[in-house]
Amino acid sequence: METRVDVVVIGGGAAGVAAAVGARRCGATVRIVERYPYLGGAATNSSVLTFCGFFDQRREQVVAGVGAEVLERLRALDVYQEHTMAWTGNHIVLLDLESTKVVLDDLVTDADVDVRLHSTLISAERSAEDRVTAVDVASRGGIERIHADAFVDASGDGALLAAAGAGVYVAPLGERQTSTLVMRLDGIAPDADLSREGMRAAVAAHGRETGRPLARDQGITVRLPVSGQVMTLLVDEQADVLDAAAFTRDEVSARRQAWRYLDAFRKHLDGWQHAYLVETGPQMGIREARRMVGRATLTTEDVLSSRKRPEESIGRCGWPVEDHVAPGVTRYEPLAGKAWYDIPYGVICSADTENLWAAGRLVSCDDDAFASVRVMGAAFATGHAAGIAAAHYAHGTPHDLGRIRAELVRQHALV
């Protein structure tokens, strides 16, 4: 089976959806390839039911465009809910799982994007001119070769970057951010203790009782819209997500940890006596795997100084440095003025592959910058820009930043 389109997008998370819709609204034919049976990336396949990064710490909205349209569609379903985390001041959007899935389905359908779920990238073809010319995608029906003029890697793990032989950076395992298995729970009393102090006391009591301390004694714990279930991010693993054997062991270990946390809270936390585990995952929430080597690099100084660069910007990010250093350990550093910084175009462009862009947690950056820009709000912004740039390339105007920025503005993005 062989197909030709203008733009191929690998991955259907926040970045991939924004890239596909942005490219299609430029008039490009677009194929989006997603290995799960639904769109949404970590929000749906890992139940990370929070959009982080739409707002800076002053609560100013810093991401619009396709991402803001997702928020508006959630409002139309009456499931939109914001939340401020008391100990960091971070302002987030809480999500309902099934509403998020259908909103993303409707968004790409209305944009006339050609979507292939249950489909996995297996290889890519690179030309002598250092361009990607085609990808091979496997589904239950067989293998399809898709030819295109431009490609966007929004896979999170850099699957296309690696398959195409593009430059990537992989941090040593001990320096990568941890992965977290999200727990969703029910049977919790309306007035139950969700406080950090209560959790810390319960985890400490469980450790004394069992002689087996748990690594994290507090984390994001919130009630979700619609279901009223409690979501909590507690179970951390220093997972090597690029090693299937190691990642399998870590997933199994994480699920065992989830049951230990449930036991601790049932026994030692007010209002949790009848709690039960609704779901974990389905997979661990992965923060870090590969990153692209780009034409430019977003730096720690750019991020912490809230650097503005209006001539180069294709998006904004206002999330602080949030470095999950080790299981149970998170380091926060606020941005100057609790404001936002500009994301330059060069960080989404491959340094060595002319027609390849990367978005989301694949953008070119150093370690502390990564700990800020990797969040989903920023992924919508970088994906939107990558999709428009790819569509322009396919239509014969490669890397014309002025035109890309103008189109982002036309599509209501903030640059």
Asked if residue 309 and residue 221 are part of one domain, the reply reads no
Report how far Cα 311 is from the mean position of its chain's Cα atoms.
Answer: 26
d(CA 359, CA 86): 30
Mean residue pLDDT of the chain comes to: 97
Would you place residue 229 in the very low, low, confident or very high pLDDT band (cuts 50, 70, 90)? very high
What is the pairing mode between strands 30-33 and 168-170? unpaired
* pLDDT at residue 294, as a whole number: 98
Answer yes or no: is pLDDT of 120 > 90. yes
In sequence order, the 6+-apart residues with CB closer than 8 A to the CB of 230 are: 184, 185, 186, 188, 192, 194, 221, 222, 223, 224, 275
DSSP codes joined into one string, 23-50: HHTTT--EEEE-SSSSS-THHHHS---E
Amino acid letter for position 403: R
What is the pairing mode between strands 230-237 and 221-223? antiparallel
d(CA 19, CA 12): 9
Structure tokens at 126: 């690179």
Asked if residue 350 and residue 275 are part of one domain, the reply reads no
Asked if residue 360 and residue 214 are part of one domain, the reply reads no
d(CA 158, CA 232): 27
Q: How many domains does the chain have?
A: 2
Asked if residue 298 and residue 253 are part of one domain, the reply reads no
pLDDT tens digit sequence for 366-399: 999 999 999 999 999 999 999 999 999 999 999 9
114, 55, 118, 64: which is closest to 90 by C-alpha?
Answer: 55
Within-domain flag for 415: no
* pLDDT at residue 14, as a whole number: 98
* pLDDT at residue 313, as a whole number: 98
Asked if residue 23 and residue 139 are part of one domain, the reply reads yes
Structure tokens at 325: 């250093």
Answer yes or no: is pLDDT of 88 > 90. no
Of 249, 280, 311, which residue is a domain's last? 280
d(CA 233, CA 72): 26
Using an 8 Å Cβ cutoff, are 354 and 342 in contact? no
Using an 8 Å Cβ cutoff, are 324 and 287 in contact? yes
CATH of residue 365: 3.50.50.60
236, 129, 177: which is closest to 370 by C-alpha?
Answer: 177
Structure tokens at 207: 């450790």
In sequence order, the 6+-apart residues with CB closer than 8 A to the CB of 192 are: 230, 269, 270, 271, 272
d(CA 381, CA 154): 12
Would you place residue 257 in the very low, low, confident or very high pLDDT band (cuts 50, 70, 90)? very high
Answer yes or no: is pLDDT of 293 > 90. yes
Asked if residue 272 and residue 154 are part of one domain, the reply reads no
* pLDDT at residue 249, as a whole number: 97
Asked if residue 153 and residue 75 are part of one domain, the reply reads yes
Q: Residue for token digits 């890309």? A: 404
Within-domain flag for 217: yes
Of 280, 311, 327, which residue is a domain's last? 280
Q: What angle (nearest 5°) sits at the alpha carbon of residue 106, between those of residues 229 and 76?
A: 60
% of the chain with per-residue pLDDT over 90: 99
Structure tokens at 267: 């026994």
Structure tokens at 407: 């189109």
pLDDT tens digit sequence for 151-206: 999 999 999 999 999 999 999 999 999 999 999 999 999 999 999 999 999 999 99
Asked if residue 326 and residue 392 are part of one domain, the reply reads yes
Within-domain flag for 74: yes
Within-domain flag for 405: yes
Within-domain flag for 327: yes
- Could you give the residue ranges of the DSSP H alpha helices within 37-174? 42-45, 65-76, 97-110, 159-163
Asked if residue 108 and residue 232 are part of one domain, the reply reads no
Peptide linkage before 344 cis (omega within 30 of 0): no
Helix, coil or strand: residue 97: helix
Using an 8 Å Cβ cutoff, are 7 and 111 in contact? no
How many C-beta atoms surround the C-beta of residue 368 within 10 A? 20
Within-domain flag for 132: yes
179, 225, 298: which is closest to 75 by C-alpha?
Answer: 225
pLDDT tens digit sequence for 14-71: 999 999 999 999 999 999 999 999 999 999 999 999 999 999 999 999 999 999 999 9
Asked if residue 228 and residue 196 are part of one domain, the reply reads yes
The residue segments making up the domain with residue 394 are: 2-172+288-410
Exposure on the CB side of residue 45, measured as CA atoms within 13 A: 19
Mean pLDDT of the region 108-131: 98
Asked if residue 238 and residue 274 are part of one domain, the reply reads yes
Within-domain flag for 95: yes
Structure tokens at 7: 């733009």
* pLDDT at residue 146, as a whole number: 98
Peptide linkage before 334 cis (omega within 30 of 0): no
Within-domain flag for 94: yes
Instruction: Determine which helix (DSSP H) or strand (DSSP E) holds 253, and give its type and residue range.
Output: helix 244-268
d(CA 158, CA 154): 7
Of 280, 313, 340, which residue is a domain's last? 280
Asked if residue 141 and residue 117 are part of one domain, the reply reads yes
* Torsional sign, CA 346, 347, 348, 354: positive
Would you place residue 86 in the very low, low, confident or very high pLDDT band (cuts 50, 70, 90)? confident
